[in-house]
Structure 1
Amino acid sequence: MPDLHENIYPACSVAERIITLGGLDRTELLQRLHQHSIHLNTYAELLLNDARMVLSPTRYSLCTVELAAHNLGFPDGATTARIFATAQQLGLTLCPLELAPYLRMQYTDQLEDVDGKLRKNQAPSGSVTVASDPISQDDTFPKGFYVLHMNGELWLRGYCADDLHCWNAEDRFIFVKEVVRGDHM
């Protein structure tokens, strides 16, 4: 009989990445995204230009893990609050919002979305959502970012979702595992 916990973090296969972030002001960060040919949607632009998005003046590195909702024990999916709370109970932490643009610039080998379609009220196939606290409780303001490789282009996209939104079991998230010492960029 299979172990019911064999695909639950930490007893599952995960993608770990060391991401170095910080040290750029808003203008420099936007220029760097442009230099890396990163595409932004309107929601990402809103988040990146909002003064509530804190940018660290100093560089630091984080070890992140990428997990699907089912790796957190949700074979039928779950709300954002349940996914985030369970990850935190398992020793993971939410990402600073500023991690997303740095992740996008450093995660250039993301597998491409094979169907190339954006789905209304669902995370796109192949996307990875950066688990972070929202800077606004307004449901019409973007809650956070996701990264996507679609039609040969790397995207940093913002998304809106209310508290009732249920993520699918296969939807993927990035959490922080630990702070890393040293500069890895």
Structure 2
Amino acid sequence: MMYTNRRIEVGGLSKETLMEMMESQSIKLNEYAHRLFEDERFTTSKEKYSVDTVERTVMDLGFSEGATLSQIYERARERGLGLCPLELAPHFRLQYRDQPEDTNGSLLSNNHAPTGSVTVALPVLSEEEDFPTGFYLRNIAGDLWLRGYSADDKHIWSPSDCFLFTNLGSKK
């Protein structure tokens, strides 16, 4: 597989400014994304910094039959990859404008990651059943989305599901 590596500029913006920028660029958010933004644990850095990121599928991490989120994160760590800071997700969405379109086109994903989506590998903020687990990015019919999702650790991610990780030690 061809790995996509990106350097993402993060920080230096408040949550309010990030929301205004996404709105001005017509980026759509679902209810779960709004809930993550509103949570007090979602903080932003006053200082700008760069994060080197890499995309990997569940299969790339060696799981041909799929895996749980904790298995995926553990294997990524073993391979020198880390979780992203929460604030990276909106910065990534603002900077990743050329995401391929999801050919399915439906907002509903029926308990699996949508085709063409990129799930940002994030620390889980809460084990509460109705609290979002994290963010993923989609392009549906030319509309760019930053969406929140919920998945417990019994959920098996498909081998083709794509995650965004940081290269450990990449914060500069």
Q: TM-score range by the shorter chain?
A: over 0.9
Partner residue in 2 for 1:64: 53
Secondary structure of 1:104 counterpart: helix
Displacement of 1:20 after TM fit?
Answer: 0.3
Partner residue in 2 for 1:27: 16
Aligned pair count reads 170
Q: Percent identical across equivalent pairs? A: 46
Alignment of 1:93-172 (within 5 A): 93-117=82-106, 118-172=108-162
1:179 maps to 2:163: no
Maintained 8 Å contact 2:102/2:140: yes
Secondary structure of 1:167 counterpart: coil
Q: Distance in 2 between matches of 1:35 and 1:66?
A: 27
Q: Distance in 2 between matches of 1:54 and 1:88?
A: 23
Compute the TM-score of the two structures, normalised by the length of structure 1.
Answer: 0.89
* Amino acid in structure 2 at the alignment position of 1:179: S
Q: Distance in 1 between matches of 2:31 and 2:152?
A: 18
Displacement of 1:13 after TM fit?
Answer: 2.8
Largest Rg, 1 or 2: 1
Moved segments of 4+, more than 3 Å: none
Task: Please list the CA deviations of residues 35-80 of structure 1 after superposition, one character each: whole Å capped at 9, or x if unmatched.
Answer: 1211000000000111111211111000100111000000111000
Maintained 8 Å contact 1:53/1:135: no
Maintained 8 Å contact 2:15/2:43: no
Displacement of 1:180 after TM fit?
Answer: 5.4
Secondary structure of 1:85 counterpart: helix
| Unpaired segments ≥5 residues, structure 1 | 1-11
Maintained 8 Å contact 1:94/1:131: yes
Partner residue in 1 for 2:79: 90
Task: Please list the CA deviations of residues 5-43 of structure 1 after superposition, one character each: whole Å capped at 9, or x if unmatched.
Answer: xxxxxxx53100110011111211111111121100000
Partner residue in 2 for 1:3: none
The Cα RMSD (Å) is 1.1
Maintained 8 Å contact 2:8/2:92: yes
Compute the TM-score of the two structures, normalised by the length of structure 2.
Answer: 0.95
Q: Distance in 1 between matches of 2:76 and 2:2?
A: 15
Partner residue in 2 for 1:40: 29
Displacement of 1:163 after TM fit?
Answer: 1.2
| Unpaired segments ≥5 residues, structure 2 | none
